[in-house]
Amino acid sequence: MTKLLIASNNKAKIEEFREIFKGYRYNVVSMDDIGLTINVEEDQPDFAGNSFKKAKEVSAKTGEIVLADDSGLEVEALNGQPGVFSSRFAGEKANDTDNNNKLLSLMMNVPDKKRRARFRCVITIFWPDGTYLQTEGTCPGKIAFKPVGEGGFGYDPLFLPTGLNKSMAELTADEKNKISHRAIATKAMVELLSKKKVEEI
């Protein structure tokens, strides 16, 4: 198996990646697993830029093959907000509850038909020789009027995926990994690697 370092300190996100990569020949490890602490400033204007920057910087500092993602929620009624600011929507030290409360406050008077949104994820895999690949995944849905469910993280309790009668936070790991933006981007990456005849990463 080839080691694949995930450039994230988000334990829930890392577990998602581990689940998604099951069955493939990749040994997914976190920065925690190897005793690494690197904080890359996410100062790029879009998900692609942040994903690329994180993967490149962590690879440069570790010499490892690195996977980084940048993902977030884009709400139509808020002109695409919170977007790249999803994790810090309510402030630099905001937690999930803070961010969800701010979103609900801003959406308070928005009717059901205008609450469309999508989760979006861009993944970059960066090799120490400077080679990289990038893929994107989206999951359409709408914003609920109140949080529902105990699973997932981030905005999952407020996000109702299109075609389902429950929130992202009510889905099992298997259910979520079939439709999530992160799963779609990851599967696209695996397919891209296969098409490019990269035997292993």
pLDDT, residue 35, reads 87
Residue 196: its pLDDT value, please?
A: 60
We report the CATH number of the domain holding residue 123 as: 3.90.950.10
pLDDT score at 108: 96
Give 2's pLDDT tier (boundaries 50, 70, 90): confident
Is 201 part of a structural domain of the chain? no
Question: Residues 48-70: what's their mean pLDDT?
Answer: 95
Instruction: Using alpha carbons, list the distances in angstroms from residue 60 to 56, 121, 128, 168, 201.
Output: 6, 23, 7, 35, 16
Q: What is the band of 201 on the pLDDT scale with cuts at 50, 70, 90?
A: very low
Q: Confidence band (pLDDT; 50, 70, 90) for 126?
A: very high
For the stretch 152-183, what's the b/e string if a residue is b when 16 or more beta carbons lie within 10 angstroms of its beta carbon? bebbbbbbbbeeeeebbbbbeeeebbebbbbb
Mean pLDDT of 87-100: 94
Is the pLDDT assigned to residue 68 strictly greater than 50? Answer: yes
Asked if the structure places residue 200 within a domain, the reply is no
Strand 132-143 to 26-30 pairing = unpaired
Number of separate domains in the chain = 1
Query: Residue 88: helix, strand or coil by DSSP?
Result: helix
Structural domain span for residue 60: 2-195
Global pTM value: 0.88
Please give the positions annotated as active site: 70
Model confidence over 17-56: pLDDT tens digits? 888 887 777 889 999 988 888 888 889 999 999 999 999 9
